[in-house]
Structure 1
Amino acid sequence: MEPFTLPDTERLPEALLELAVPFDEVNAVLAVRTALARDRGLRTAFDEVLREQSAAVGTVGRPSGFAGGRPAGFDGPGHLLTLLFVALAPHTRAYHRALGISPAVTRTTLADLGRQLVVSRWRGHPGGLGNPAWLTLHFRGELYQLGRLQFQRKRLTGPDAEAAAEAGFGPRCLQLHIPDHCGPLSPEACDRALARARGFFARHFPGEPYPAACVFSWLLDPQLGRYLPADSNIVRFQQRFTPLRPPGEPEDDNPLRYVFGDSGQPLDSLPRDTPLQRALIDHLRAGGHWYVAGGWLRLGDHGG
């Protein structure tokens, strides 16, 4: 693969703009770029991690290499990982071009870097990425944003694979993800995303048949139906899916993190402006718990 290099400080702002990095983060990233150029040891560690990550572009199911949230021995400023994904982006774009993927899909998918910086700050992780391992899916070509939803090339394992086999599909499926701050989860937007996914993966990954999509999310917790109107977007989203397996242990902080940002705040301090916010808080205050549930649908059965 072509040996792309990290943009210098003059070209870096444009590269950050292409990845939707917020303007108020740019100077901080530039400062880290300057520190990286001056610190030979840090640059050696950076180049080694970049080689490992670029070699993983095009793979599916490979570990992120970010145990504990960062690469082993990869210490330094918070935005060092932001720079890593900037340096990795040309490798990802080259992989997409080789598959015939449109620049628009590439741009929308990789723009999750900027969105994750915003989300990280919202969740109490200032000065960098709170969950960099998540972005390795995007930059390795394993995950794509197609409209309102993100679709991950996935091979299920363990109990999930067993449940999929009993349901008559798998172990290969497209795992759905619902990104933050992308507008309403309306039925129409979901229909369009599912329809795009059917054509997209059949065209660009013809050797990987994906008969079904699956999702593992607190959004599928059936208890939400006790609190939300039957015509709410979340309840209608749930109705698309057939249960794949029963929920496991409670994960109360999961919905709190996605709806309120910082899941460590006292319940009494959280806003109650929407039916969903009130549902999450009232259920926990009454002694209940929230769970991540799994569901699946056949791609041929959904999407306009």
Structure 2
Amino acid sequence: MNKSKTYTKDLYKNTKLSDELFADNIKDLYIWSEKYEKENNVKGLYKEHFKWVDSILEMKVIKLGRLQFEVLENIDDLSNVFEETKDFLFVNVHIREGEKLTPEECEKSYDMAINFYKSRGYKFSTVVFICYSWLLSPNLKNILPEESNIIKFQEKYTFFSSNLNEENPQIIERVFGNKSENIEDWEEDTSLQRKLKEEWKKGMRFPMTKGYFIKKI
């Protein structure tokens, strides 16, 4: 891993990005390795996280402020949404866990992403930010107040698809920190955990949902 980190640090230096930005981005490696160690009592990574960690090391995904960004090359699932995409830049938005998702910090991140991709030589007049996450699940509006940061985050996005057939719902892993199928094992330390557990028992589901919003330059 140290060799990989050195390679990535060189990428950041060559792009004239700060050591602070590098340090913030490389935290993802520790987040996922610590998760594995916590659950298995040995250092390692889940196979499902290999691709993500590689995208961090290759600087394909970059965290700018609160949010993480990744240029999308394949936009097939948006072909029915946008007829004309000339001078458009499509950017995937990812959300690292463990930090507050305030509207102000998110707005700063979107602007930072635009400036970053301009500095990297991308030519565009319109950016389409796309997010695929449990955080966009429409049913969260049934259990969270309007002023919730999660609901405020959702409000920027137009939803266009949901995964109704998740084998291991991401929301359970992210909110409760495990993949236990036994609902009685789910913690109730936060209001979100309590409300989610209560509604899940009643049959409400919170699917991964994809949404987008457009920002003209």
Q: Shorter-chain TM-score category?
A: 0.7 to 0.9
| Structure 1 residues 197-253: Cα deviation after superposition (integer angstroms, max 9, x where no partner) | 1212211x223546121100111111110111011111111001122x221323362
Over 3 Å counting, the alpha-carbon distance change for 1:234 and 1:97 in structure 2 is same
The whole-number CA distance in structure 1 between the counterparts of 2:41 and 2:204 is: 28
Matched, 1:222 2:130: no
Q: Answer whether contact 2:138 2:206 (CA < 8 A) is retained.
A: no
- For residues 218 and 167 of structure 1, the distance between their equivalents in structure 2, rounded to whole angstroms, comes to 29
- Of residues 204, 213, 216 in structure 2, which corresponds to 1:297? 213
Equivalent residue of 2:72, what SS? strand
Letter in 2 for 1:281: K
Deviation for aligned residue 1:87: 1.3
Q: Which residue of 2 aligns with 1:256?
A: 172
SS at match of 1:145: strand
**2:36 maps to 1:98:** no
Distance in 2, Cα, partners of 1:185 & 1:124: 29
The residue number in structure 2 matching 1:213 is 129
CA contact (8 A) 1:219 1:292 kept: yes
Question: After superposition, where does 1:124-203 map in structure 2 within 5 Å?
Answer: 126-130=42-46, 131-158=49-76, 160-166=77-83, 172-181=89-98, 183-203=99-119
Deviation digits for residues 146-168 of structure 1, max 9, x if unmatched? Answer: 1111111222343x231452486
Q: Is the 8 A contact 2:161 2:211 kept in 1?
A: no
Query: What SS does the corresponding residue of 1:299 show, helix, strand or coil?
Result: strand
Contact 1:221 1:293 in 2 (8 A): yes
The TM-score, its normalising length taken from structure 1, stands at 0.63
Separation in structure 1 between the aligned mates of residue 16 and residue 40 of structure 2, nearest angstrom: 38
Task: Describe the shift of the 1:125–1:255 C-alpha distance in structure 2 as closer, same or farther (beyond 3 A).
Answer: farther
Cα distance in 1 between the residues matched to 2:42 and 2:146: 38
Q: Which position in structure 2 is the counterpart of 1:35? A: none
Structure with max Cα Rg: 1
Q: 1:296 to 1:275 in 2, by over 3 A?
A: same
RMSD over equivalenced CA pairs, Å: 2.4
Confirm or deny that 1:239 pairs with 2:149.
no
Note closer, same or farther for the CA distance 1:100–1:121 as it changes in structure 2 (3 Å cut).
same
Task: Select 2:26's aligned residue among 110, 120, 124.
Answer: 110
Q: 1:172 to 1:161 in 2, by over 3 A?
A: farther
Higher relative contact order (CA 8 A, sep 6+): 2
- Alpha carbons 2:34, 2:43 under 8 Å: kept: no
Number of matched residues? 213
Q: Classify the secondary structure of the residue corresponding to 1:105.
A: helix
Q: What are the superposed Cα offsets for residues 21-72 of structure 1, whole Å, 9 maximum, x if unpaired? A: xxxxxxxxxxxxxxxxxxxxxxxxxxxxxxxxxxxxxxxxxxxxxxxxxxxx
Runs of at least 5 residues in structure 1 that lack an aligned partner in the other structure? 1-82
Percent identical residues: 23
Distance change in 2, residues 1:96/1:291 (3 Å): same
Q: CA deviation at 1:94?
A: 2.2
Q: Which amino acid aligns with 2:107?
A: D
Secondary structure in 2 matching 1:151:
strand
Tell me, in whole angstroms, the C-alpha distance in 2 between the residues paired with 1:281 and 1:163.
36
Q: Which runs of 5+ in 2 are unaligned?
A: none
